Amino acid sequence: MATTSAPTSFILYGIKNCDTVKKARRWLEENGVNYQFHDYRVEGLDGALLQNLLDKQGWEAMLNTRGTTWRKLDETTRAACNNEASAKAVMLEQPAVIKRPFLLAAEGQSLLGFKPEIYQQFLAQVK
């Protein structure tokens, strides 16, 4: 007898070795949430997909200025990240500078970052 899997309800974007992404993945799995993981360092991130994410959260929220990737950028590049177009260009070139994880529901709702209580509320609203 063939088993059918439930459709993927969510896509979790991030980098697999990020501790926060690991926590989010573990939480989703422990709570039986069907999701697909997209590692944008490995699988890439095209401009249209990034624009979709930016439209949902805004470039300021998506730009991780606290991480090592940001700190390794030269001062000129960091200073130039003062609008969506320049931030998007840096994000496409250096995807590790994108705040993570980013959870996207099939219906289009999104959540940036990870806190178990926020994920619980988000899942209750989406379902």
As annotated, the active-site residues are 18
Element at 13 (helix H, strand E): strand 10-14
Opening angle at CA 9, ends 4 and 15, nearest 5: 110
Write b or e for each residue in 57-93: b if 16 or more Cβ atoms lie within 10 A of its Cβ, otherwise e. Answer: eebeebbeeeeeebeebeeebbeebeebeebbebbbe
Eight-class DSSP state of 42:
T
Distance CA 52, CA 6 (A): 25
